[in-house]
Structure 1
């Protein structure tokens, strides 16, 4: 069965926010990556002003993981305070990932189809027909 975690988006202050959350909840980051580490691809280019911003950070809290990133560029999601979160699903296998993605995207909008990523996951993003943002992330070792 899939697990669900919260994914937060920030307007350039993700690192400060997650350092604050770490001071409150304790623990250590599982991962902290910056946009300068991301390979450039079709339709997006990381600007010099965005290179040091957070591409992804993960902080375990109990049995869940709080995740986040800064919003950057014209190709990334737009920051809207109050709507700056997504629900992240971690399925057990590719079949479950595809089923959940297909079901949630019905009547909604796919922002990134399910595909293999440079960070080693089978991943996709969508906004469902009710306006809720979802991420489906399957580590390649599980696929």
Structure 2
């Protein structure tokens, strides 16, 4: 049986659609230390070159990226929330979030120690994509996790509000 896995790609790979592909690539380099593996320019009807396809490495993960092509139904986030959050495991969540903010990201939840054992925060990149960033700070057993979660909900019926 032939190998159906494309070499160099995991089973699932995020493929981001953005307005301003070249600028997005530079942002991800500055914010997350991305390395560009490949970029395919694509002409558009108005003569402005777009990124038809790009591949970035962030840590050991591949992230694909393309400019939006509304004429083909491929559009960037509108800024009205997110249906997907990209999770980035980082050796230093505070440094990563500071670097991303310096590059132009908006911090929506500053990093804090979370009940599940991560130091965890959230941000939105300048292209409308939502990210969570975490650093493991402790291993938490399932029993301890349940106790901490129950305590959090006892203190506030909606801990995510406000």
Task: Give the shorter-chain TM-score range.
Answer: 0.3 to 0.5
User: Normalized per residue, which structure has more strand?
Assistant: 1
Larger radius of gyration: 2
TM-score for the superposition, normalised by structure 1: 0.43
User: Relative CO higher for 1 or 2, CA cutoff 8 Å, sep ≥ 6?
Assistant: 1
TM-score for the superposition, normalised by structure 2: 0.38
User: Normalized per residue, which structure has more helix?
Assistant: 2
